[in-house]
Amino acid sequence: MRSASVLLAAAALVGQAVAAPPSYITRRIAAVDASSADNSCNVTNQPIAPSQDPWYTAPYEFEKEAPGTILRVRPAPGNLSSIAGNCSAAYNILYRTTGSLYNPTWAVTTLFVPQNVSGNGTGSLLSYQIPYDAVWVDASPSYALYGGVDTDIGISLGKGWFVNVPDFEGNNASFTAGVLSGHATLDSVRAVLNGADRFGLPADTNYAMWGYSGGALASEWAAELQVQYAPELNFSGAALGGLTPNVTSVLFTIYDGVEAGLAPPAILGLTNQFPDVYDYVVSQLKTTGDYNATSFLATLNYTLNDNIGKFALKNMSMYFDGGLDTLLKPLTQKVINSDGLMGYHGVPQMPLFVYKAVADEVSPINDTDALVERFCGVGVNINYQRNSVGGHAAEGTNGNAAATAWLDSIFDGTFASSANATGCFVSNVAVNVTDSQF
């Protein structure tokens, strides 16, 4: 979930001048919109959109395989490794995972191999969850990365880290479906480790997660679910920025503002894991007027930026016959409670670095405060930084250096001997890198 690009689109709609977005957002926009990018430089073996590429299908009886089993693998088509920089190879891996209803399903991850592997006989694997925030499968990172690879990936590769980038929304682009996102993230790491010999991972490889906003959603759910879903995995840590612990709270924060474009894909993405609930929600959309089902459902073929331009400043309650109360009925509330509330599926067994802007305009800071307090109460090691500067998008840049330094300590072994290696630490900081208030 990101808002700086939302602000730009909203400004265009209302004729206001808004400063350029923080570099964190700039690094994302091209990647999310790669479905329309010119890939003509790939003269052979060009990437094909997932909805059109037959490679994006699971083999017969894949359901019988264990979660994390590699079902298909290929060198990433085109020039993805050269786009990333510091990269010797890139692979697409299609693997078995588990949906929000604990049904067998599949997803795809992209693995970047560094030119020079760090360590002496040991390795580092960063699972980097990109917030693609769409309910359209063609916005998935395995394809969207051709439009631009985040600089964090290239920098991590330059450190000798392997970088895993999963399409954690799965094959149906279930944006905000927490359980699926967590499962798909965990199983992407399982798949990479299962193919360690093929991909050149050292036998002794440490692994950690990093995600901001929608990427933090997947990372946090993975951290919660690991203890019961993937107990054999031993993560060294997870960096979580701009957390969105409560999807209902987010909806009522953004529903008629500049970030309103996040709502349609979130509503459909969460419920498409529950077909009866999805059908119910769609049945409640108005069929006439400016706020109608056709315009709402167009999000099924939109990137994040498309959603921004179409829905910014529009009142989401106007699309439903019963207003937003439609989404609070027992049928829908059950889904939200099971798949949209962090903190109730397990206790993270790894150290966490959490960072968030106090003035976050997408997800209220109180929700993250409460989540941290809940985990601290049961002994989770957490370093939580609350930034008094900026908002949701700005914190993606403002908090980047601290998250990077924390991950460096995780992988170089210095974290274990640091003062923050055990316990719960909450600090208020004032970090201003972007000079942006958003």
Q: What is the pLDDT of residues 200-228, one digit of tens each?
A: 999 899 999 999 999 999 999 999 999 99
The reported pTM is 0.91
Tokens of 68: 């994390």
* Residue 122, pLDDT score: 86
Average pLDDT value for the chain: 90
Q: How far is CA 36 from the centre of its chain?
A: 21
The percentage of residues in the chain with a pLDDT greater than 70, rounded to a whole number, is: 89
- Which residue of the set 140, 392, 409, 436 is catalytic? 392
- pLDDT exceeds cutoff 70 at 2: no
User: What pLDDT does residue 37 have?
Assistant: 36
pLDDT at residue 30 greater than cutoff 70: no
Q: What is the pLDDT of residue 354?
A: 98
Quick one: what percent of the chain has pLDDT higher than 90? 85
Q: Catalytic pick from 124, 174, 213, 363?
A: 213
- For the chain, how far is it from start to end, CA to CA, in angstroms? 13
Is 183 catalytic? The answer is no
Q: Please determine, for residue 5, whether its predicted confidence score (pLDDT) is greater than 50.
A: no
**Mean of pLDDT values over 54-60:** 97
- Least trusted range by pLDDT, from 10-19, 69-78, 164-173: 10-19
Which one of the listed residues 360, 367, 409, 436 is annotated catalytic? 360
Assign 3-state DSSP to the chain and report helix, strand, coil percentages, each to 5: 45, 20, 40
Confidence of residue 32 (pLDDT cuts 50, 70, 90): very low
Higher pLDDT pick, 4 / 68: 68
Q: Which residue has the higher pLDDT, 29 or 317?
A: 317
User: What is the reported pLDDT for 201?
Assistant: 96
What pLDDT sits at residue 438?
Answer: 74
How far from 133 is each of 56, 141, 314, CA to CA, in Å? 20, 11, 18
Q: What is the pLDDT of residues 119-169, one digit of tens each?
A: 767 899 999 999 999 999 999 999 999 999 999 999 999 999 999 999 999
From the list 35, 20, 248, the residue with the least C-alpha distance to 132 is: 35
Q: Which of 41-45, 273-277, 351-355 has the lowest mean pLDDT?
A: 41-45
Q: Give CA angle at 136 (277, 129), nearest 5°.
A: 100
pLDDT category at 9 given cuts 50, 70, 90 is: very low
Closest alpha carbon to 394 in 428, 353, 354, 362: 362
pLDDT at 392 over 90: yes
For the question of residue 213 being annotated catalytic, the response is yes
- The answer to whether residue 299 scores a pLDDT higher than 90 is yes
* pLDDT at 45 (0 to 100): 80
Look at residue 121 in the predicted model and tell me its pLDDT.
72
Average pLDDT estimate for 272-298: 97
Strands 424-429 and 382-387: parallel
* Residue 117 clears pLDDT 70, i.e. is over it: yes
Active site residue 249: no
Residue 341 Rama label (left phi>0; alpha psi -120 to 50; beta): beta
User: What's the rounded mean pLDDT across residues 69-78?
Assistant: 97
Contact 311, 261 (CB under 8 A): yes
User: What's the rounded mean pLDDT across residues 253-269?
Assistant: 96
Q: What is the mean pLDDT of residues 101-129?
A: 93
Residue 403 has pLDDT above 50, yes or no: yes
C-alpha to C-alpha distance for 133 and 173, rounded to whole angstroms = 9
Per-residue pLDDT of 404-437, as tens digits, reads 999 999 999 999 999 999 999 999 999 999 877 6
- Assess whether pLDDT exceeds 90 at residue 77: yes
